[in-house]
Amino acid sequence: MAHSVTIAVLRERAAGETRVSATPETVKKLITLGAGVTVEAGAGLAASIGDADYIAAGARIAETGVAQGADIVFAVQGPDIAMLAGANPGAWVVAGHDPFGQRDRVEAYAAAGFEALAMEFMPRITRAQSMDILSSQANLAGYKAVLIAANLYGRAFPMMMTAAGTISAAKAFVMGVGVAGLQAIATARRLGAQVSATDVRSATKEQIQSLGAKPIFVENVAGIEGEGAGGYATEMSPEYQKAQAELVSSHIARQDIVITTALIPGRPAPRLISDAQIATMKPGSVIYDLAVAQGGNVEGSVPDQVVERHGVRIVGFANTPAQLPADASALYSRNLYNFLAAFWDKEHGRPVLDEEIGNAIRLTQGGKVVHERLLV
Ligand code: NAD
């Protein structure tokens, strides 16, 4: 049977990237939709998926030229243009493209006539939740950040009463309560820490309480009431930043573990912790900066390194989801499958996007960069 469309699944090339954009489960489902799937040899190895697993699911394995004849190319990170050699004119390149950081790459997709679709620009609307790679990966990152911090911490998280005496519970503080922060709170609580958390969006206060953690909020200056566009934060006024810094200064000195997750879309991450504040913390404390790759929430944090300042260890992987390759790949792959399945046009045997989601994620089309956020 001739397949309607061919999907190519690339092996990731970026340093430290362990994820893959399709699993045997999603390959099977894509084939059921009516697509043919070609997987690049070794694509799943770092996520514990062998080529034989893909073959058993119905995929073809390609040693070279994986994109040859492809209508749709799947990747985790935006691939180098050379990886797309032989793909059909107008082929979709579906990935987390980092469009602001990888502008040259986006231009190259346009010049080659491909349609690059940035999955991280998926709008935060109910029907797109199952396609939202930022959420699926942030959730796992929030979990792993706490485990990595716990591992570096020279003490235990839970209170323990032993014959040799009592160990007191660790105090953990989560800054930024989006998807990653909520999972960090839940994880630190499960490990037995006393957890507090803060955010600029007042809507998060109740969410913090419902997880059994203590909200720490700037009370005397207005934050973001409810939620802004897409539920995202914006940059805060200098007055708010000053009040927040004072509040954090008094709180942070008593914390053992701090997890920072604050991001502002399209801007560098807000600086939440200064070196002077770190100096007030107890030696042996650990800070995990989940925003380290976006410029960092913590002064002195360096991607993929454990930095010691004033006896406090500051850590942050540039790519935290890649520390959980199997689950991160499983969820990412389902996001991509859910996306294609939602737009699958049975009559034409291929996906057809609507305006709301198409315009939100399409970076290039007809030889040009077309996304409004890239045209300003
Ligand atoms: P994010 O990764 O953009 O930012 C993480 C958190 O940092 C946010 O809560 C943000 O308010 C906070 N932050 C920003 N600046 C800060 C500062 N200076 N100090 C303290 N905190 C700061 O956020 P996210 O995880 O993508 O989630 C944002 C919102 O979107 C949440 O309300 C989430 O529930 C919502 N959401 C909705 C959908 C959907 O409806 N489809 C999907 C995912 C997320």
Task: Give the model confidence (pLDDT) of 57-74 as tens digits.
Answer: 999 999 999 999 999 999
pLDDT surpasses 90 at 266: no
CA 265 to ligand 1: nearest atom = 3
pLDDT surpasses 80 at 222: no
Crossing angle for the helix pair 325-342 and 24-33, nearest 10 degrees? 10
Per-residue confidence band for 240, with pLDDT thresholds at 50, 70 and 90: confident
* C-alpha span between 278 and 274 (Å, rounded): 6
333 is catalytic: no
pLDDT surpasses 90 at 193: yes
Query: Best mutation site among 120, 179, 205, 357 for ligand 1, i.e. most ligand atoms within 8 A of its Cβ?
Result: 179
Ligand 1 shell residues, CB under 6 Å:
124-125, 128-129, 132, 134-135, 138, 175-181, 198-201, 227, 231-233, 236, 261-265, 270, 272
What pLDDT, on the 0 to 100 scale, is given for residue 234? Answer: 76
Q: Where does the chain have alpha helices with state H?
A: 24-33, 51-57, 103-111, 133-152, 179-190, 204-210, 238-252, 275-279, 325-342, 355-361, 372-375
% the chain with pLDDT above 70: 97
User: Can you tell me the mean pLDDT for 256-285?
Assistant: 94
* Chain Cα centroid distance, residue 43: 20
Asked if 96 contacts 78 with a C-beta cutoff of 8 angstroms, the reply is: yes
What pLDDT, on the 0 to 100 scale, is given for residue 232? Answer: 75
Ligand 1 atom 8 nearest Cα: 178
Per-residue confidence band for 225, with pLDDT thresholds at 50, 70 and 90: low
Catalytic residue among 4, 80, 232, 309: 232
Catalytic residue among 13, 48, 127, 129: 129
What pTM was computed for the model? Answer: 0.94
Per-residue confidence band for 241, with pLDDT thresholds at 50, 70 and 90: confident
What pLDDT, on the 0 to 100 scale, is given for residue 228? Answer: 60
Catalytic residue among 19, 21, 71, 132: 132
329 is catalytic: no
Per-residue confidence band for 1, with pLDDT thresholds at 50, 70 and 90: very low
CA 244 to ligand 1: nearest atom = 19
| Residue 204 Ramachandran class (φ > 0 left, ψ -120 to 50 alpha, else beta) | alpha
Asked if 114 contacts 366 with a C-beta cutoff of 8 angstroms, the reply is: no
SS3 332: helix
User: Can you tell me the mean pLDDT for 42-53?
Assistant: 98
135 is catalytic: yes
Asked if 71 contacts 40 with a C-beta cutoff of 8 angstroms, the reply is: no
